[in-house]
Chains A and B, each alone.
Chain A
Amino acid sequence: MSTPKPFAADEESVLMAFSMEPSHGRETLERYIREYPQHATALIDCSIDLLHEPPADDVSATVVSDSAVAKAWQRFERAAQQPNAEVANPFAKLNQTGFKSLARSLDVSNLFLMRVRDRAISAATIPARFVEKLASELGATAHAVGAYLQGPPGMVSGHAFRSSVKPSVGEQITFDQAVATSQLTPEQQATLKALSG
């Protein structure tokens, strides 16, 4: 139990290991729940799904239509072409202090950095040099940060005002517009604008 685990105990790995067990009944489930109590619910669900092995009877005579297979292929192709659909948010690991100190190191206002984070700025207008700088401060690759910034604008969380209308995602603004309207000092604005050159 207390032996060091070279094993990533994330849910997927634990469920995979459980699935690969020769049996999924009480004894196995109990052993896994004792070892990975944090994944108890997922393990229980998995064990219920795996408990009754389907009889290996012959497949039905029904013929699957070519159109059903063609539809599946289309879905495959669409999904295969979007490898970056789930790009990680490089800002996710920052807490409030980390976020503020990042703004300080980049010498930009918090508001400006929030707009970058929430993808309120059109990615095409952000200078590559700014992305590189941001990436190096975040400890990520420019490619990863660039991919993240390409995503759709996010719903800005943490608004502190009541609204009579349903909050929605706003239109993206350009990098220059963001520079001009984010409470930056004239010096900061000049530095940022110089990056586009």
Chain B
Amino acid sequence: MPEPLKSKDKHGAPFTRPPEIEACLARLESVDAVARLQVFAITSRKSKGYVPSEALTHFLRRAWAVGAQSEFKQIFELLMKRVGQSLCSTISDSRMAGAQSIREEIIGRLAERIAKDCNGRFAMLDFFEVRFDLALARFRKTVLRQIGPTSVVTVPLSTDGDEGQDISLEVEAAAADFLGGAPEKIDDPAFRLELDAAIDALPDDQRRVVGLLRQGFQIDSKDPNIMTIAKMLKCDERTVRNRRDRACKTLRAALQEDA
């Protein structure tokens, strides 16, 4: 039986991993460390025998706890490689100036968090054992906001030579859908990535307003029972509208530059 997670929910029960991760851990516990390291080295998600990173995180922590130093270092290196590869697609050289050093900084900071966890002070690593990709996405965004890309290089949205004017109208419409709480209307993953990056780069107050609008919250309401953006951000609804307008202007400008 894999050891339960240390962090607990508000009822005092430990958080649980998804059943497929639990099953994977149980399977890997029955083989020795050498065999485990072999399967951990498989990096393609499509390959047979690929082990999810949640499991690598678990065995990394376990190796530390039992003092298996060599195993720990090897899993650490494999995990960092995976993290580096995953970051390559979200922080690609074509999209961001100095992408490589930004990626290295994120990996380095994650390494420090792991050290903190080894010293028993970073419970957040539990989340990496439950939903690795999501946890990493959050970690990446947090670090990016702290270090901030020096400049964002953007790539054309379309590679098949469409003319700018068409794209710009398309962008406007898409941005409107997006901010109007219908992100599913945007199915172009490249565009979503651009828009996400542009939103992420907004100042905190504007980013929060945009983020909440995307989740479908309303700015203001006469009904005191309805949770509104103004209420959540503890400010006047006019302030919220101002922030939204400023954010839209910035986003439009950022996305039109691409077109």
Q: Contacts A7-B10, A47-B211, A79-B116; is A20 near B124 (CB within 8 Å)?
A: no
B33 interfacial by beta-carbon distance below 8 Å: no
Determine the interface band of chain A, counting residues with CB < 8 A from chain B. 35 or more
B221 interfacial by beta-carbon distance below 8 Å: no
B85 contacts A60, C-beta separation under 8 Å: yes
User: What sequence of 0s and 1s flags, for each residue 35-65 of chain A, a beta carbon within 8 Å of any chain B beta carbon?
Assistant: 0000011001111111111111111101110
Determine the interface band of chain B, counting residues with CB < 8 A from chain A. 35 or more
B59 interfacial by beta-carbon distance below 8 Å: no
A194 interfacial by beta-carbon distance below 8 Å: no
Q: Nearest chain A CB to B50's CB is how many angstroms away?
A: 10
**B contacts with A: majority SS:** helix
Between A6, A62, A63, the greatest number of chain B beta carbons within 10 A of the residue's beta carbon is seen for A62
A58 contacts B88, C-beta separation under 8 Å: no
A13 interfacial by beta-carbon distance below 8 Å: yes
A178, B226: Cα distance in complex, Å: 61
Taking CB atoms and an 8 Å cut-off, the chain A residues in 78-93 that contact chain B are 78-80, 83
A128 interfacial by beta-carbon distance below 8 Å: no
Q: In the assembled complex, which residues on chain B have CB atoms less than 8 Å from the CB atom of A69?
A: 77, 80-81, 84, 107
A76 contacts B111, C-beta separation under 8 Å: yes
Q: In the assembled complex, which residues on chain B have CB atoms less than 8 Å from the CB atom of A76?
A: 76, 111-112, 114-115
Q: In the assembled complex, which residues on chain A have CB atoms less than 8 Å from the CB atom of B112?
A: 75-76, 79
B239 interfacial by beta-carbon distance below 8 Å: no
In the complex, what residue of chain A is closest to B138 when comparing beta carbons?
A: A49
B12 interfacial by beta-carbon distance below 8 Å: yes
Of the stretches A22-30, A105-113, A118-126, the one at the interface is A22-30
A7, B12: Cα distance in complex, Å: 7
A54, B90: Cα distance in complex, Å: 9
13 more contacts with CB within 8 A, not counting A19-B134, A56-B45, A59-B43, are A6-B12, A7-B8, A7-B10, A40-B234, A50-B134, A52-B183, A52-B192, A59-B88, A68-B107, A71-B104, A72-B104, A73-B111, A75-B108
Q: Taking beta carbons and an 8 Å cutoff, which residues of A are in contact with B?
A: 5-7, 12-13, 16-17, 19-20, 25-26, 29-30, 33-34, 40-41, 44-60, 62-64, 68-69, 71-73, 75-80, 83
Some 24 contacts from A to B, beta carbons below 8 A apart, are: A7-B12, A13-B7, A13-B123, A16-B127, A17-B9, A19-B138, A20-B15, A26-B216, A34-B227, A49-B138, A49-B142, A55-B189, A56-B133, A58-B45, A59-B82, A59-B89, A68-B84, A69-B80, A69-B107, A71-B108, A73-B76, A75-B115, A76-B76, A79-B115
Q: Taking beta carbons and an 8 Å cutoff, which residues of B are in contact with A?
A: 7-12, 15, 43-46, 73, 76-77, 80-82, 84-86, 88-90, 103-104, 107-112, 114-116, 118-119, 123-124, 126-127, 130-131, 133-135, 137-138, 141-142, 183, 189, 192, 196, 204, 207-208, 211-212, 214-217, 227, 232-234
